[in-house]
Each structure stands twice: as C-alpha cells, then as structure tokens.
Amino acid sequence: MRVHVDPDKCQGHNRCYALAPELFDVDDLGNAFELNDGIVPKELEDKARLAIANCPEFAISIVD
Amino acid sequence: MSETVFGPVTDWATDWDHGSPAYNANIHQIWDDLLKGGCPIAHTDRYGGAWLPLTHEMVHEIAYDTEHFTSQNVIIQQLKPSEIPEAIPAPIGGAPPITSDPPFHSDARRLLLPAFAPKVIDPMRDEMVKMCNELIDNMGDVDHVDAAVQYAQHIPVLVVAQMLGLPLKDADRFRGWVDMLLGGIGAARDEDRMAKFMAMDEYISAHIQDHIDNPRDDLTSFLLNAEIFGEKLSPRHVFGTMLLLIIAGIDTTWSGIGSSIWHLATNAVDRRRLVENPDMIPAAVEEFLRAYAPVTMARLVKEDHEFHGVQMKKEDWVLLPFPAANRDPKQFDDPATVFIDREANRHAAFGLGIHRCIGSNLARLEMNVAIEVFLKRFPDFEIDDNEEVTWSTGQVRGPRQIPLRINTRA
C-alpha cells in the first residue's frame, strides 16, 4: 500500500499525524505530508486506513 | 442577547432564528424536522434575509466556494456590511484572516500558522495539566460544583493569557470582552459600552508597548516580529490579531469542554469506560467534537445566484452549521448516536477549506487535558437535578451551567 496527501486539499487539521505519526508528518505551518514516499508497511495498513477515514478534507488517498 | 429582537419563531423552515434561545436548546430536533419535511436549506427574512443549509454536501460546497460567498462577516448581525459605513471591505474584512477572502487571506493566515502548529502546541500540555488541577483544587472539598462556571470557562482564558504573555490574574476580564463584543451585537453604542471598549483598548495597547520595550518568548512578541508583504505588522494589526485570538478561542473551547463533561455526566457507561481506559480519551474527544460541535460560521452571498434550487440574493447571510454537517447520515453511520470509540470520523467541527480553525491543535489539547484531569479527580459525577443546565445562544453552542453532584473524588 502507498498513500499520498494532496497538498492542495490538506488544510492542516492534523488528524493523520495524530493518528499515524509513523506514516505522516507536518511542516512548520502544520500541513501534512507522507513519510517514506508514502510506502505503508503491512503492519501499519490499518493505521493508514484510519488516518484516511479521519481526514475532514478527503486529502489522503491510496495511490497503489 | 438572551431574547431575540425579532419575536418568537413561527416556522423554522421559513422564519428561523438562530438567535432565539429555542434554537440551541432544541437544535437537533429542529434540524431533523426540517430534513424530514424535505427542507435541506431553510430561509428566514430575519437579519435582512438568511439561509440555513443542513447537509454536509452543501456546507462543504459553501465553505469551499470563495467565489460566490465572502467571509467578510462570519457572525450574522442585524446590519449588512453595506449598511455600516466603516465596515472594512472584502477581501480583508475587520478581523483578518477569519474575515478575509483570497488572495489576501493566505498571507494573513500564513503568518499566524507557525504559532499554532502541532509541534509548538504539544509542549504546552504539562502547563495545562497544572492549570486544570489548580482549578479543581480551588473548588474545595465540596460535593456540588458547576463544571461550566468553575472549570470549563476558565481553561481557555488562562491558556490564551499564557500564550499572549498577559498576566494570568487578569484572565477573567477577557471573558467580559467576549460578552461585550459578541453579546453586544445589536446593542446600542451607549457610553457604558464605549467606556468598556476604551478600557480594553488601553489594556491591550499597554501590554503591546511593554512587549515592544521588553521582547520575550510569547505570541505577542511573535506577532510584533511577524511580517506581511515584507513589512512588520503595525501595533494596530497586532492589536486586532490579539483580540481575534482572545475572542475566537474562548467561548468556543469553553463550549467544547462543557459539552463533553455534560455528555459524561449524563452517560455513566461512557464515563466509566473513559475512567478505566484514559487512552480512549482522544477518540472520545473527536466524537464529542462531531456530536456537539460548538461553532457555526456565516458567509455573505457575493452576487445573486442559484444554489441547490434556491435563489440567493446579493448580501443574503448564509449560516454554515458545521454541527449539522456532522449529523449527515450520508457521511456518518448512525449520526444521532454518540459512539466514543467511533473509528471513521471526518467531522467538520473545525470547519472545512481554507478557514480551518487556526487554533484547532490548541483546542484539541485543551479538551483532552481538561477531560483527562476532570475524570482523574472526579471519577464519578452526575447532573444535580435540583438545578438547571443552561445553553448558550447564538453561533457558538455549549452549556453555560452544568450543576454536578460529585459522588467520588480522587
């Protein structure tokens, strides 16, 4: 699984970073981006789905 | 305003009034009835004409559509901006960035964002834990407390005073300013109100001057050093921003904390689960934010246009009820039920789009700490039925009195 945060949609709600800090980080303005090219280790796939399902802006998607 | 100036509501679909005390007190029933009656967007002639959309889709669409809707005034007032000669026009508005539209908005917002980023806010946790414990210590050894009056309302004022570098002993007077500025909408500009405004102006200006003379590591000094369009902010701009942070941060967070404690006082099973499993508190806070979202914003229609089959007129008000979007069954399973362990929760309590609440990280931390400390100190409490729970009136919704009987203290 690979995930991607669309920087045009992200408004800095910070849900993904709070729920899955292994997969997402935030910059100095509080906007999120994916870590490790978005590659999700098998054991963190549930966490990735949780982060996706909690983004108010629908900014995170599974890219492959 | 405790009573609406327009008289009792006759029909919520065609004559609604969010300023009526009946609105916040019966809010879920009113929305459910409107939706069941086939009215997903209600209208009123009050306030010079206003719309109330209720679905997540519509609220989302309006929040994103800065071409047809302006943020120039985000609190519905009796007068439209065109009726107020000194109103600061779009795209700036009277309290940037909340009242600003693109393209000005992003610069005004960007300068504030670093001060509210998670990695700046998270280290404030220990200080908040201490503040919340002190509030409970101050209640004394009594078995009756008011969780709104003695606890929830103090937390955001203390936090904002600390952030801005203002004396904590003065924090109570900020709440008076919120009452004056929000509750005073529509009030006459009488001498008493002007005198209060002057006193507030003098107080903040004196502290800005003190920060110019003695810079320190706080938000006021941060603002005095911040730049927009390559120039430092004027002390007047700093003044406006401080006022915005005080006003936007206080009764909102107070309401969020209060609604959460009210829920726990009326739902013993949820309370016991959180007492036994404090690691469930963050998810529970998100569900309280969804189910009891405190903030409804407003927009003004820029030009006549059709929206979902209704004809909107230039300068009509539009309420943006994020709390109603949070109860849309198309977005949330069983939305009327509070599940403190709800997993998928894309709630819009902090807004959607470019105006996402800039203090959301701060508010979340305050709510988490406030609930954590309260449950630790008072593991068992319930509503004291001898007194009344009262709710706020207007665009910020939350309990203003939560009389509790404390059954166990730790």
User: Which band of pLDDT confidence, cut at 50, 70 and 90, is reported for residue B183?
Assistant: low
Chain-chain contact of A11 with B119 (C-beta, under 8 angstroms): no
pLDDT value of position B203: 95
Average pLDDT, stretch B77-83?
89
As to burial, measured by CB atoms within 10 angstroms (0-12 exposed, 13-18 middle, 19+ buried), residue B97 is: buried
**Statement: residue B404 has pLDDT above 80:** yes
As to burial, measured by CB atoms within 10 angstroms (0-12 exposed, 13-18 middle, 19+ buried), residue B86 is: exposed
Domain boundary (B348, B377, B392) is at B348
**Statement: residue B3 has pLDDT above 70:** no
Q: Does A50 lie at the interface with B, CB-CB under 8 angstroms?
A: yes
Are both B343 and B363 inside the same structural domain?
no
pLDDT value of position B185: 52
pLDDT value of position B118: 95
Task: Parse chain A into domains and list their residue ranges.
Answer: 3-62
Are both B267 and B161 inside the same structural domain?
yes
User: Which band of pLDDT confidence, cut at 50, 70 and 90, is reported for residue B184?
Assistant: low
Give one DSSP letter per residue of B41-81, joined into a string: EEEESGGGSEEEE-SHHHHHHHHH-TTTEE-S-SS--SS-G
Q: Does B131 lie at the interface with A, CB-CB under 8 angstroms?
A: no
How many C-beta atoms surround the C-beta of residue B240 within 10 A? 18
Chain-chain contact of A58 with B353 (C-beta, under 8 angstroms): no
- Selected for mutation to probe chain B from A6, A8, A13, A27 (highest B CB count within 10 Å) is A13
pLDDT in tens, B268-305: 999 999 999 999 999 999 999 999 999 999 999 999 99
**Statement: residue B182 has pLDDT above 80:** no
Are both B151 and B234 inside the same structural domain?
yes
Chain-chain contact of A56 with B116 (C-beta, under 8 angstroms): no
Are both B192 and B259 inside the same structural domain?
yes
Q: Which domain CATH number covers B21?
A: 1.10.630.10
Are both B315 and B329 inside the same structural domain?
yes
pLDDT in tens, B31-59: 999 999 999 999 999 999 999 999 999 99
pLDDT value of position B1: 38
Amino acid at B25: A
- The residue that leads in pLDDT, B236 or B311, is B311
**Statement: residue B164 has pLDDT above 50:** yes
Low-confidence ranges of chain A (pLDDT < 70): none
**Which of helix, strand or coil describes residue B255?**
helix
- Selected for mutation to probe chain A from B361, B362, B365 (highest A CB count within 10 Å) is B361
Half-sphere exposure at residue B195, Cβ-oriented, CA atoms within 13 angstroms = 3
pLDDT value of position B247: 86
CA distance A30 to A45: 24
Partners of residue A33 on adjacent β-strands: A25
Are both B51 and B180 inside the same structural domain?
no
Cα first-last separation, chain B: 39
Q: How many domains is chain B built from?
A: 2
Are both B39 and B59 inside the same structural domain?
yes
Window 101-130 of B, Cβ < 8 Å to A: 110, 113-114, 116-119
- Selected for mutation to probe chain B from A9, A10, A11, A55 (highest B CB count within 10 Å) is A11
Domain limits for position B326 = 1-110+296-348
pLDDT value of position B4: 61
Report the phi/psi class of residue B351: left, alpha or beta, with left for phi > 0 and alpha for psi in -120 to 50: left
Window 339-378 of B, Cβ < 8 Å to A: 343-348, 350, 352-354, 356, 360-361
Domain boundary (B311, B331, B348) is at B348
Q: Are B355 and B298 in contact (CB under 8 A)?
A: no
Are both B173 and B30 inside the same structural domain?
no
Cα first-last separation, chain A: 6
pLDDT value of position B2: 39
Are both B287 and B310 inside the same structural domain?
no
pLDDT in tens, B317-334: 999 999 999 999 999 999
Find all residues with CB under 8 Å of B194, minimum gap 6, and list them.
Answer: none
pLDDT value of position B78: 86
Chain-chain contact of A29 with B360 (C-beta, under 8 angstroms): no
Q: Domain A3-62: which topology? A: Alpha-Beta Plaits (3.30.70)
